[in-house]
Structure 1
Amino acid sequence: MKITLNRINDDFLFECTNAQGNSILLDNTTQPGAKGVSPMESVLMAVAGCSGIDVVSILKKQRQEITDFKAEVEGERIPVDDAKPFKSVKVKFLLEGNIDPKKAQKAAQLSFEKYCSVSKTLEPTVEIGYEVWVNGDVVQP
């Protein structure tokens, strides 16, 4: 796996491109007029995307009918020397459709315990939590 990063203005705007030519913009979001996401926001996006792919894939294999899927991710950061790494990350899945809540909960559990490489990368130093909502109701683990 390889990406390239190119600076595209005189400040902090970078374009990151993968081998297939797909790209995202990263920027210093503390500056006015930022045109991309911050690198730390991109980490939260990566957790949402990785676990989201897992959950949707598992539920599709179980023939669950997903009509809408969203994830909200919050990260708590702590100062460590001059950096502010994540202390914890919490993912909230919001699913709609003809979905068995127990299957949705199990899919999320499998993602975080077994499949999601992004959360597994963070896991040694970051507490990862999640909750699952199906059709407006929270699913109890």
Structure 2
Amino acid sequence: MDTQSLAARFSQVALAIVLTILSVVLLVTTHRLRLDIGGLELPAGLLFGAVFQVTACVFLYAATGSRLPLAVVGSLWGLLAMPFLGRGVGGGVLFPAAIGDQIQYSGWIVQGIGVLLPFVMIGVITLVRRRGRAPRA
């Protein structure tokens, strides 16, 4: 696939924007979901968010063969989530800093999943690509 032409780059960015919007909506609305299974409380929303974000990144790379869409997702995610943050990072209605006396870490974690995970995937892809090009003895 031609990943260098201008049309290819525009389509990669457009695809990344659509998936970023979907990611923000899903992760922001489900990040506090918890499931109680056999007395063990699982952070199902955060697990779902991490799986979704990894799947979206793998799909973007597999569909385009480029790291550009992953950079777009990582860069744009925080900007699109900002209206939900309220007064600041970790301090809004959907991302409360604390409820009562209990600090809410899920808001910070979901922001890390949304922003940092695409860049981690870029790093992994870069390492795999470089390892594949290493001269063989």
TM-score in same-fold range (> 0.5) = no
In the superposition, the TM-score normalised over structure 1's length comes to 0.30
Going by fraction, where is helix more abundant, 1 or 2?
Answer: 2
In the superposition, the TM-score normalised over structure 2's length comes to 0.31
